[in-house]
Amino acid sequence: MLKKYLLSILLSVTLFSPAFADDLNPVVVMTTSAGVIELELMPEQAPLTVANFLRYVDSGFFTDTIFHRVIDNFMIQGGGFSADLERKDTLPPVRNESANGLPNMRGTIAMARTNDPDSATSQFFINLKNNDFLNAKGPRPGYAVFGKVINGMDIITQIGHVQTGRQGPYSDVPVEPIVIQSVVLK
């Protein structure tokens, strides 16, 4: 009986210790026309943002959207437009969680937004370099990081180098569309 009790304590400590937290984080697989990217999401630090992103994933919202804004040595942005730059209808905005301790570093995924800190809906960006100026500073909100690339950073870098131009009112649009074919929970 004592052995079973000690074993159950050992298992609960092992399963719920911070060292194993990464194993419990959701991972999504983003298949694009440029290759496959895997992203680990961080619900402990950004619960509202991760829940919001996963609602879009579960509904298939990101299928056939594009990376519509690509700025080399800065970031790649997607998740809101079709290949013909038609804006998709979104869910209501999510509250900004940029003060969660996750910095905008190379390979992190964060929510895109307008000047209103609480305006993020479906659009996200992946940082191509450390972008400290996007982090929350004191009372000034930043851009909420909610995950990181765990596989496919070479694809992200490749997308960052594509030729871009102006298309209608939009600048930094890839000349050849980079299509997000699917985003699914792994």
Q: What pLDDT is attached to residue 75?
A: 98
Q: What pLDDT is attached to residue 22?
A: 56
Average model confidence (pLDDT) across the chain: 91
Q: What pLDDT is attached to residue 23?
A: 66
* Long-range contacts of residues 102-106, Cβ cutoff 8 Å, at least 24 apart: 102/42, 102/45, 102/46, 102/144, 102/145, 102/146, 103/130, 103/132, 103/135, 103/145, 104/130, 104/131, 104/132, 104/134, 104/135, 104/142, 104/143, 104/145, 105/130, 105/131, 105/145, 106/130
Q: What pLDDT is attached to residue 20?
A: 42
Q: Where are the domains of the chain?
A: 23-185
| C-alpha R_g of the chain | 18
51 touches 43 (CB < 8 A):
yes
Q: Which tens digit of pLDDT belongs to each residue from 133-154?
A: 999 999 999 999 999 999 999 9
Could you say which architecture CATH assigns to the domain 23-185? Beta Barrel (2.40)
Cα distance between residue 112 and residue 71, in whole Å = 14
What's the pTM value of the predicted model, to 2 decimals?
Answer: 0.88
Block means of pLDDT (10 residues each) for the chain, 186 residues, are 42 41 84 98 98 98 98 98 97 98 98 98 98 97 98 98 96 98 97
